[in-house]
Structure 1
């Protein structure tokens, strides 16, 4: 017990770093993913000016390439590239900002695809009904489409959020002292697996809280059938 108390401050400091990466990644990647999904869903409109049509086609192609790149390469590689590679062309981040930058770009790509699937699952007849009711495009999105999309994507979003908690351990590669690194240091120093067992318990507690929050949020959307 005394040993557990002695290593707890280091583990809690690592937990603070893990939660910081987790929270800031969500704050940045969820809205960015939503914006990117709108670009992925763009369709040519009848009578649309050719220059505008060309612009949106190019924009959609760029977003698709971005999603392909960040979903097709390991997050660990992206972290290394951002922190060690970008300085070679004059773009320098400190360790924490490099981690947030890489995590936000990576998870925004996944969220964009999740939201795209959610938007695609909304029946087109609802857009037509909103037009008949004289709702603006923004009103249609806010009151009709987005609530349904959120209900559809919540399970997938929940899985990605839980993955994010575990993926945050990858920041060790650029020297950040997260929870897992703190446990590894204590294990190597004291030659015992107890620190890693405590790390596992802390991760399980964090995912338990997130799972409970996800279930509560899903229940709040239960009125959408």
Structure 2
């Protein structure tokens, strides 16, 4: 079984576009958890164009009503992000190498270059009891280093997988991701995955049992325009089970 964490950034973007609290992100989180989702993810960027730092605090309060459910906060570990995360103390923090002006995440950490900057950050988060995940490209050779710098998990960046789905190179790409996932497991890490996963492609990635958790937001929100929010969340849970 692979756990589903629903990323609510696009709900925040829709809310913020009108300057009102509608749709209400916390209500959507409550609805999603009530349907059986394992967790909620947000990725508050410095401009707070979708999920906000206040959302992080409000979601933490909500999660107290759902024993066993988890809050995952993603982002680049600048001073403000770290201050919020250390205050909120989510179950999981996924560190992503985003530029402040980046439209969306598009690459994993280069640990040969970034390890010295990441080590104290990871140590600080883990001292608060927060599980630490590093957003990584599907490079099997990098997984041991992710463990060595102190990460508990990696999240495989899956845009390449999603782009290959249905194409001639899909089987080769799937093997690359499965190889990277196995290397992470062999290193003592747990494996998450996310980015451009959808109802069509998520099952093939997860069916071999190496992926513990997927974080899905953009596709899920888009699919809900056709199917309805509740139906889409239930459909993901069926595929991941």
TM exceeding 0.5: no
TM-score (ref. length: structure 1)? 0.25
Higher relative contact order (CA 8 A, sep 6+): 1
TM-score (ref. length: structure 2)? 0.24
Please identify the structure whose Cα radius of gyration is greater: 1
Give the structure with the larger helix fraction. Answer: 1
